[in-house]
Amino acid sequence: MSAAQPVKTPAPSYAPMVQTRMMQARPFAMLMGVYGENYRRFRKLLGDPRKTPPSALSTGLDGVRLHLVKLETHRYTDVFGLSYRFSELEPGSQDPFAFVRLYHDAKLAEATHCEPGDRLQQLYAAKSPYFELIEHRWRMNLFINRWLEYLLDQGHGPLTFKRANSEPWRGPTYEPAEVED
pLDDT above 50: residue 130 = no
* CA 101/CA 72 separation, integer angstroms: 9
* Residue of 54, 63, 80 lying closest to 148 (CA atoms): 80
Q: Please check whether residue 161 is in contact with residue 53, taking contact to mean a CB–CB distance below 8 angstroms.
A: yes
H/E stretch holding 15 reads: helix 15-46
* CA 148/CA 38 separation, integer angstroms: 7
Who contacts 82 (Cβ-Cβ below 8 Å, separation ≥6)? 66, 67, 68, 97, 98, 100, 147
Model confidence over 98-112: pLDDT tens digits?
899 999 999 999 998
Whole-prediction pTM value? 0.63
Q: How far is CA 16 from CA 24, 115, 130, 134, in A?
A: 12, 36, 18, 20
Model confidence over 53-106: pLDDT tens digits?
899 999 888 787 888 999 999 999 999 998 887 666 666 555 778 899 999 999
* CA 63/CA 1 separation, integer angstroms: 79
| Cross-strand partners of 165 | none
